């Protein structure tokens, strides 16, 4: 079965607890359930992960890139968390393995602090979904699936 990857960066394990007025009350477990249901509806297997460590995310990106090249995956949905605004390394990893990525943000980062307006991931992402709460993950999976079908 073809896979879709969903990777979450630092502090997303705190969903439902950290700043619910910004990120809502859904937990990361709720997000995984939502993603799994959408993936299954599209005939995809879900590989879901969260890490507070940049290197772990890079390893996963490289693994996902290899799976896409082998025809066993369609790409990744990535919520890089705060690494969005700081990580040239994530940018380089995505670009290096030519991984199709949809960047996801639960909040609309452009309505927040100015330092959140810049993304190192966006220039190498196929698309960006932000401001739709956790439903943005569903939109991102659908977008990635639609993009893969056009190839």
Judge whether 36 is annotated as a binding position. Answer: no
Judge whether 51 is annotated as a binding position. Answer: no
Judge whether 107 is annotated as a binding position. Answer: yes
Nearest by Cα to 113 from 137, 80, 87, 85: 85
Judge whether 92 is annotated as a binding position. Answer: yes
Among the listed residues 91, 105, 120, 145, the single catalytic one is 105
Distances (CA, A) of 64 to 93, 106, 109: 11, 22, 26
Q: Give me the sheet containing 45-50, strands edge to edge.
A: 45-50, 3-8, 73-79, 101-105, 127-130
C-beta of residue 107 within 8 angstroms of C-beta of residue 83: no
Residue 120 annotated in active site = no
Judge whether 116 is annotated as a binding position. Answer: yes
For 51, half-sphere exposure in the C-beta direction (CA atoms, 13 angstrom radius) is 14
For 88, half-sphere exposure in the C-beta direction (CA atoms, 13 angstrom radius) is 0
Among the listed residues 23, 83, 120, 137, the single catalytic one is 23
Residue 118 annotated in active site = no
Judge whether 79 is annotated as a binding position. Answer: yes
112: tokens are 């927040």
The DSSP code for 114 is: G
Binding-site members are 79, 85, 92, 106-107, 116
Q: Which residues are designated catalytic?
A: 23, 105
Binding-site members for substrate are 79, 85, 92, 106-107, 116
């Amino acid at each position: 079965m073809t896979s879709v990857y969903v990777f979450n960066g630092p502090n997303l394990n705190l969903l439902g607890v950290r700043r619910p007025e910004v990120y809502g009350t859904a937990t990361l477990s709720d997000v995984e359930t939502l993603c799994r249901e959408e993936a299954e509806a599209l005939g995809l297997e879900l590989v879901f992960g969260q890490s507070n460590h940049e290197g772990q995310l890079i390893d996963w990106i490289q693994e996902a890139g290899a799976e896409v090249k082998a025809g066993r995956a369609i790409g990744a949905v990535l919520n890089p968390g705060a690494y969005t605004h700081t990580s040239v390394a994530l940018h380089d990893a995505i670009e290096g393995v030519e991984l199709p990525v949809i960047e996801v943000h639960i909040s609309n980062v452009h309505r927040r602090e100015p330092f959140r307006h810049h993304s190192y991931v966006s220039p190498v992402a196929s698309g960006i979904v932000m401001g739709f709460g956790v439903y943005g993950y569903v939109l991102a999976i659908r977008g990635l699936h639609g993009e893969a079908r056009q190839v």
